[in-house]
Amino acid sequence: MTDTPTRTNVPTLQWAVRLLAVEALALVALAIYVAWATLAKSATSKQGAGALLVLIIVGVLIVGGLSRALSNLKTWARGPAIVLELLLLPIGYTMITNGLAYVGIPVVLIGLFGAGLLLAPATRAALGLDRYGSQ
């Protein structure tokens, strides 16, 4: 067996897929916490908590779906995944500036790392993209 790179074993793509999967799992954990807090009556508004729970579940489906699509070498998934990773930057910045630096700094770093993996030339090549973004 050789260590010749193929489209499916490019490290940058593999790590991007793993990172998106971990992000989806983190959102699942957040959904469980919000559901628990709502049922334990510590939520200030049941309607607001319910809406937040729905949004988190939608996020799980989107991030998990993008992870799966990229693992199946679907070129279309790269763009939305980059956007989602970059959206972590203002979220993390807001956390940092509001006294949650211990959460915000990792969020920013994860967003930068994920976007970097998806923008890497090796990832583009693995997805079959030429230098102008078409197949």
55 assigned to some structural domain: yes
Q: Which domain holds residue 54?
A: 11-126
Domains in the chain: how many in total?
1
Name which of 14-23, 25-34, 39-48, 118-127 the model is least confident about. 39-48
Q: How far apart are alpha carbons 17 and 118 in whole angstroms?
A: 9
**Cα-to-chain-centroid distance, residue 48:** 24
Within a domain: 95: yes
39 domain residue, yes or no = yes
- Does residue 1 surpass a pLDDT of 70? no
**pLDDT, tens digit (0-9, with 9 covering 90-100), for 24-80:** 999 999 999 989 988 887 667 778 888 999 999 999 999 999 999 999 999 999 999
pLDDT tens digits, one per residue of 78-109: 999 999 999 999 999 999 999 999 999 999 99
Average model confidence (pLDDT) across the chain: 89
- Whether 5 is covered by a domain: the verdict is no
Q: What does the pLDDT read at residue 115?
A: 97
